[in-house]
Amino acid sequence: MPKATREERNQGFYDEKAERMDRAERAAFKEKEALRILRYAYEHAPGYRRFLEERGVNPDIVQDIDDFPKIPVLKKNRMPELHNQNPPFGGFLAVPVEQLKRIYVSPGPLYDPEGRKEDYWGLRKCLYNAGFRPGDLVMNTFSYHLTPAGIFLDEACNGIGCTTVPTGVGNTEIQIKTMVELKINGYLGVASFLLSLIGKMEGLGYDPVKDLAIEIALVGGEILTPCLRKALNDHGIIVRQAYITADLGTLAYECPQENGMHIADDLYVEICDPVTGEPLPAGSVGEVVVTQFSNECYPLVRYGTGDLSAVDEEPCACGRTSCKLRGIMGRADEVTKIRGMFVHPRQMDEAMSRFSGEVDKVRVVVTRESETDLMTVEIQLKEGVAGTDTLKASCEERIRETTKLRSCVVFVSEIPDGCKKIDDRRKWE
């Protein structure tokens, strides 16, 4: 099958009827579905029912979409606590476990269920509209272990007729050799990792101009800066980004206009004050709060993602009528994404609990060098404890086990009281 041309990748719709729905019709559809899933979650997910009842809320107070803010925001950063109180799913699972296809383990830890519905995560539309086409040979560098990214993107690729090479993370030399010898033309993963692979090709005896076949990339897991996109574009690669999470699947994706991410058709999205949960005026930056009405296994209503963004309501030249998110503009809490993985403050507490006799305080400092995230873990030791190389190595190993990320431990004389446990110092330009 001949590969798609650049023009073919920049045109067409996966589901034209849904994507070009009249805006008034879209609003009415989303209102109807949001109200339905609210009542469904209350009736079928005992954990969600308990969440509302503890706050004195009954879904009957919501008669139309204007009443929706009367429902409290269910914060993502509280889910590990809620799951732990009533394991394994916190009571938010609305179907018997036997009806699930897979269960994933995300940082927190959280158990993320996957139902048996075809294209459960809504990723086929995301991939197709980003520019992937039947016949593409796609290298998937997201992890296939525990977390869902690798598997659910793999299945979506196959669902639209692509062939997947499941390389996962690491093994740089093998990835480059595979990329060249198979003439792989599609990429899924973190943008900075793709640029790193290209940068190391010459050292392995390859010429990026002649040997690089990649034409299309869908990236996520980090903020895609203009300079990072341009660096990949300069190698002839179309780069599109998507907003995908383990609990919600596709939230938004870029179209060929590359000026914001279209909100998925099966979501009702609000931009809210991170503290009060009240919706903010159009164009304001606030927390992305999502109600997903296509997932009856694990219904999430007014789910506060912790991500900050703003909605762009202007019509898009691509012809899709859904509003767009202007990109991820930071976090509303201390949970931080580093090299594609969320790191929670509680994970650092868990990692350091093994060293309770030696460690007094801990702080994660996130910086960026070129296009790579760096995680430095500052540790204040208890009085009289020596910061030996052995202790440093043990701490780094334990942090890697807990967060799945490499770090550099630095022993410091003092960590200020009241400071953030995760200090994100990255600058996005």
Does residue 278 share a domain with residue 231?
yes
Q: How does pLDDT run across 78-124, given as a tens digit for each residue?
A: 999 999 999 999 999 999 999 999 999 987 788 999 999 999 999 99
- Lowest-confidence pick of 37-41, 229-233, 243-247, 402-406: 402-406
Provide the pLDDT for residue 348: 85
Domain boundary among 331, 360, 382: 331
Does residue 237 share a domain with residue 130?
yes
Q: Other C-beta atoms within 10 Å of 307: how many?
A: 24
Give the residue-averaged pLDDT of 367-379. 89
Does residue 369 share a domain with residue 311?
no
Provide the pLDDT for residue 419: 84
Does residue 378 share a domain with residue 306?
no
Number of domains comprising the chain: 2
Does residue 239 share a domain with residue 174?
yes
**Cα separation, 324 vs 316, whole angstroms:** 9
**CB neighbour list of residue 309: distance below 8 Å, 6 or more residues apart:** 271, 285, 286, 288, 325, 326, 327, 328, 329
Does residue 289 share a domain with residue 153?
yes
Share of the chain above pLDDT 70, in %: 99
**Cα separation, 162 vs 146, whole angstroms:** 24
Q: Is 56 contained in some domain?
A: no
Q: Is 378 contained in some domain?
A: yes
What's the CATH number where 374 sits?
Answer: 3.30.300.30
Does residue 344 share a domain with residue 294?
no
Query: Residue 196's closest CA among 29, 339, 19?
Result: 339
Q: Is 361 contained in some domain?
A: yes
Query: Residue 342's closest CA among 427, 196, 222?
Result: 222
Q: Which helix (H) or strand (E) holds 252?
A: strand 249-254
**CB neighbour list of residue 227: distance below 8 Å, 6 or more residues apart:** 429
Q: Is 12 contained in some domain?
A: yes
Q: Is 74 contained in some domain?
A: no
Query: Residue 30's closest CA among 56, 65, 5?
Result: 65
Domain boundary among 331, 363, 395: 331
Q: Is 118 contained in some domain?
A: yes
- Lowest-confidence pick of 68-77, 291-300, 412-421: 412-421
Residue 1 pLDDT > 70: no
Q: Is 172 contained in some domain?
A: yes
Q: How does pLDDT run across 114-145, given as a tens digit for each residue?
A: 999 999 999 999 999 999 999 999 999 999 98
User: pTM of the prediction?
Assistant: 0.81
**Cα separation, 61 vs 54, whole angstroms:** 15
Q: Is 97 contained in some domain?
A: no
Domain boundary among 270, 296, 331: 331
Which spans in 45-103 are helix H? 46-53, 79-85
What's the CATH number where 188 sits?
Answer: 3.40.50.12780
Does residue 178 share a domain with residue 256?
yes
Does residue 382 share a domain with residue 276?
no
Provide the pLDDT for residue 303: 98
Provide the pLDDT for residue 335: 74
Provide the pLDDT for residue 356: 85
Task: Tell me the residue range of the domain where 396 lies.
Answer: 337-424
Provide the pLDDT for residue 308: 87
Q: If you search the block for the tokens 């606030």, which residue do you land on?
A: 286
Residue 215 pLDDT > 70: yes
Does residue 418 share a domain with residue 375?
yes
Does residue 183 share a domain with residue 124?
yes
Residue 429 pLDDT > 70: no
**CB neighbour list of residue 22: distance below 8 Å, 6 or more residues apart:** 321
Provide the pLDDT for residue 428: 66
- The rounded mean pLDDT for the chain is 93
Does residue 345 share a domain with residue 311?
no
